[in-house]
Amino acid sequence: MEQQTSIRTSLQLGIYKIIDPFVKLLIKLGLTPNAVTSIGFVLNVGVAAIFIIGAEDGNRGDFTYVGWAGALILFAGLFDMLDGQVARLGNMKSVFGALYDSVLDRYSELIMFLGICYYLVAHHYFLSSIFAFIALIGSMMVSYVRARAEGLGVESKGGLMQRPERVITIGVFAIACGITSSYIGGDYKLFVPGIRFHVFETMSVFTFPIAILAVLTNFTAFKRLVDAKKALSENEQ
């Protein structure tokens, strides 16, 4: 766990060094951390809009919308890091800012998954839509367990699938799905002799990672719950 945390921290510090010049530009332009957070939220509304438009206007085998939505997911995710850095480097930290950031992060994720589920249901990927909904539940519980534990005076913030990992996973594989469809086609299906149904299709590039996300987010939430229980027991003793 400590090694995992150390690697994650090192990656964050490396990313901060890259984005700091842009952060300083935002500060010079007069943008506040809350403004940056709001921009990220609006971009995630745009992500949901792309998925919904793709559901209504796109064909089942057309994953162009999925690819563009993935690109916007990563761009919107960038603002999750920018707002905190703007607050730190601009000396604009506030208690309400931290609350505002957390609330809009939850709304952003809910709206993003709304778009994903809408797209999957509209194009009859019903099983995948269930996994997406389970991933949404896990994502919310990861955040809730941490917040509730901190409210009780203990820390519980480890795990495999925190928000940055979730954003990167969904964004990268959505883009990969869009790119893959341009090479093998949107209707590609892989069959294995002896199995009556296909074991892989183009959309699987996007939906398989979501299924993994559904498992790992809920595992992370459960792991945080166990860690919080242990910490609370130690405090009581």
Its pTM stands at 0.90
The pLDDT of residue 159 is 74
What is the distance between the alpha carbons of residues 51 and 38, in angstroms, rounded to a whole number?
20
Does a structural domain hold residue 172?
yes
What CATH number has the domain bearing residue 27?
1.20.120.1760
In 3D space, the residue among 27, 19, 67, 29 whose CA is nearest the CA of residue 47 turns out to be 67
pLDDT score, position 160:
77
**Do the domain assignments include residue 3?**
no
Is 177 a domain residue? yes
> For residue 5, is it within any domain?
no
H or E stretch covering 124: none
The predicted pLDDT at position 1 comes to 53
d(CA 73, CA 162): 15
What stretches of the chain adopt beta strand conformation (E)?
189-190, 200-201
Residue position matching structure tokens 């009859």? 124
User: Is residue 214 one of the residues assigned to a domain?
Assistant: yes
Say how many domains are in the chain: 1
Asked whether residue 230 is assigned to any structural domain, the reply reads yes
Instruction: Give Cα 182 distance to the centre of its chain.
Output: 25
Residue 162 is assigned to a structural domain of this protein: yes
Q: How far apart are CA 33 and CA 93, in angstroms?
A: 8
Show the domain range for 22. Answer: 17-236
**Residue 7 belongs to some domain of the structure:** no
- Digit-by-digit pLDDT tens for the chain (237 residues) are 555 556 666 766 677 777 778 888 888 888 899 999 999 999 999 999 999 999 999 888 889 999 999 999 999 998 888 888 888 888 888 899 989 999 999 999 999 999 999 999 999 999 999 999 999 999 999 999 999 998 888 888 777 788 888 999 999 999 999 999 999 988 888 888 888 888 889 999 999 999 999 999 999 999 999 999 998 888 877
Residue 233 phi/psi, 5-degree rounding, is: -65, -40
